[in-house]
Amino acid sequence: MDNRQDFTLDPEKYSLDKVRQLVDDLHEQGQKYVMMLDPGVHKLDSYPTYSRGVEVDAFIKAADGSLYRGEQWAGEVVWPDWFAPETGAWWTDEILLFFDPETGVDIDGAWNDMNEVSNFCADVDCDPSEEATKRNAEVDASSKPLRSRQDSKGDMKGLPDRDLFNPDYRINNHQGDLSVRTLYTNNTNADGTAQYDTHNMHGLMMITATRNALLARRPNSRPFVLTRSTFAGAGAKAAHWFGDNASNWDDYRATISQMLSFAAVHAVPMVGSDVCGFNGDAQEQMCARWALLGAFQPFYRNHADISAPNQEFYLWALATQAAQKAIDARYRLLDYIYTAMHRAASAGVPIVNPLFFVYPEDAETFGIDLQWFYGDALLVSPVTDDDSTSVTFYLPNDIFYDFWTLQPVQGKGATVTVDDVAFTDIPVHIRGGTVLPLRSASGNTTELVRQNDFTLVVAPGSDGKASGSLYLDDGDSLDVGDKYSDISFGWDGKTLRAEGTFGYETDVVVEVIKVLGGEEPVTKEGKWSLNEAFEVTVS
């Protein structure tokens, strides 16, 4: 960005021709490019996005009818009023113009940050132009000091004389009244509602507008939007990361319950944290553990504040080894979790599950918040104590199989302690009674992974049977029509059967079937097509 303004590039460091070449190179290698968009629009008459927004009355108003101003990264900013009739079209036009595939930056997704809204003004009488000047941000000479907040009763039917800044019902806002570090709660939307009543919808409305704009760019490609702010229904439109966490063990542990809350309860399936933490100084052992933990969460990235010490995995030997193992497994499992994601999108089935979702009759699972099922078949039990190689986890009364060694492990409805978990390892178990589709090899892009054949791992339950599924399509089309395959696998103790819908043509085959349960898996090799039903007897 140029001075952190949306829809701009630094003309010296990141000129358009260089960025276009970078994006072209990434696309040639099967990689994607995502750019950040903050909601705060720099209030500068010479900034085209701002001036075009003013022309269509796209910005939120203060209680006195003037443009409401605050401070964000670019300096003094205004914010979109998503209730105004022309704001959605203005936002779409800005995205179409700057991200034009032929003349601009050909992005593959958009990252919506700071959209709660976050406002750097620390109290309600802050002067954003003055604060921006202190940070050497460019400010219009015409900017005037922000008026002290206007008194506004925000009367509503049945609620006369309500106080929008200090309501009778107080939340535990440790930063002060409701307007501190965000929009004034008495700001007025275009439809006459107050921000007090619509604050929580701002992020959802921004991601909706961004999704609509990306669809206008490519109508039949699935739009990828990543958001920091969410509201009810956000999971149908965007991925979510948990925001500015810290590089410490407490926040490492917290990501597990955060993930379970969003993915299993709030119906936001594509969630995860900033691996190794965003703020602070990441340490090698913690980062190695986090590289493994994060690989078994739906959304996975290593991301840190610009002022934090570098924390790329390759900077440490342990983190490098852990990340290599984790990413290899994650990419081999992409079709398994893609199938789970399809179930989440089409039927609302959680992509990750707390143990009590899978074992609802087992009361011992009810309070467990440091283990989870990745999909319905993989039980993940990471080391969670600081700098430890020991972990105690719960195994329900069922048969399991170690994901890494494929050896059977009989759960007894009790905790198990393992004292020698290397910093390059994470306990993962396959639940008995499942069939796990794995790519036989991984790759460093999804495009390469999709070229690899499958291995089916059959993990018989205590009754000797197992089942699983695999969903395949082109991975990009919003409407795949009938060009998809939805395959069910069933194992009866002797024969594996594949049945279902086979509308997605692929040259990829199942090349290996592994049946677990003995000292060594029983393996059968072949070339079974995924374009039709098949059955295989394994003995």
Does 116 participate in catalysis according to the annotation?
yes
With respect to residue 376, please indicate whether it lies within any of the assigned structural domains: yes
Q: Using the 3D structure, point to which of 393, 410, 431 is the last residue of a domain.
A: 431
Is pLDDT above 90 for 69? yes
Q: In what order do the strands lie in the sheet with 109-112?
A: 34-37, 109-112, 224-227, 239-241, 271-272
With respect to residue 190, please indicate whether it lies within any of the assigned structural domains: no
Percentage of the chain modeled with pLDDT above 90: 86
The span from the CA of 31 to the CA of 35, in Å, is 14
Task: Record the tokens describing residue 257, joined without a space.
Answer: 């319950």
pLDDT one-digit tens code per residue, 94-134: 999 999 999 999 999 999 999 999 999 876 678 888 888 88
pLDDT mean across residues, the chain:
94
Does 113 participate in catalysis according to the annotation?
yes
Tell me the CA distances in angstroms from 165 to 118, 155, 454, one per residue in order. Answer: 17, 13, 59
With respect to residue 273, please indicate whether it lies within any of the assigned structural domains: no
pLDDT one-digit tens code per residue, 430-454: 999 999 999 999 999 999 999 999 9
Is pLDDT above 90 for 172? no
Task: Record the tokens describing residue 149, joined without a space.
Answer: 């907040």
With respect to residue 2, please indicate whether it lies within any of the assigned structural domains: no
Same domain for 394 and 473: no
471, β-bridge pairs: 486
Name the pairing type of β-strands 454-459 and 466-472.
unpaired
Of the residues 6, 81, 108, 116, only one is catalytic, namely 116
Q: Which helix (H) or strand (E) holds 430?
A: strand 428-431
With respect to residue 495, please indicate whether it lies within any of the assigned structural domains: yes
Least Cα distance to 457 among 428, 481, 491 occurs for: 491
Does 535 participate in catalysis according to the annotation?
no
Task: Record the tokens describing residue 277, joined without a space.
Answer: 């933490």
The span from the CA of 227 to the CA of 501, in Å, is 34
Same domain for 442 and 409: no
CATH number at residue 421: 2.60.40.1180
Same domain for 388 and 448: no
Is pLDDT above 80 for 469? yes
Q: Which helix (H) or strand (E) holds 346?
A: helix 334-347
Q: Residue 263 is which amino acid? A: A
Task: Record the tokens describing residue 229, joined without a space.
Answer: 């702010």
Tell me the CA distances in angstroms from 97 to 74, 94, 100, 106, one per residue in order. Answer: 20, 5, 5, 11
Count of the separate structural domains present in the chain: 2
111, β-bridge pairs: 36, 226
With respect to residue 418, please indicate whether it lies within any of the assigned structural domains: yes
Of the residues 108, 113, 131, 376, only one is catalytic, namely 113
With respect to residue 348, please indicate whether it lies within any of the assigned structural domains: yes
Same domain for 409 and 475: no
SS3 71: strand
Q: Using the 3D structure, point to which of 396, 431, 466 is the last residue of a domain.
A: 431
> What domain range is 485 assigned to?
434-537
Least Cα distance to 411 among 424, 402, 420, 421 occurs for: 402
- Classify residue 194 by its DSSP letter: B
pLDDT one-digit tens code per residue, 240-282: 999 999 999 999 999 999 999 999 999 999 999 999 999 999 9
Q: Using the 3D structure, point to which of 410, 431, 452 is the last residue of a domain.
A: 431
Of the residues 93, 130, 163, 244, only one is catalytic, namely 244
pTM here is: 0.94
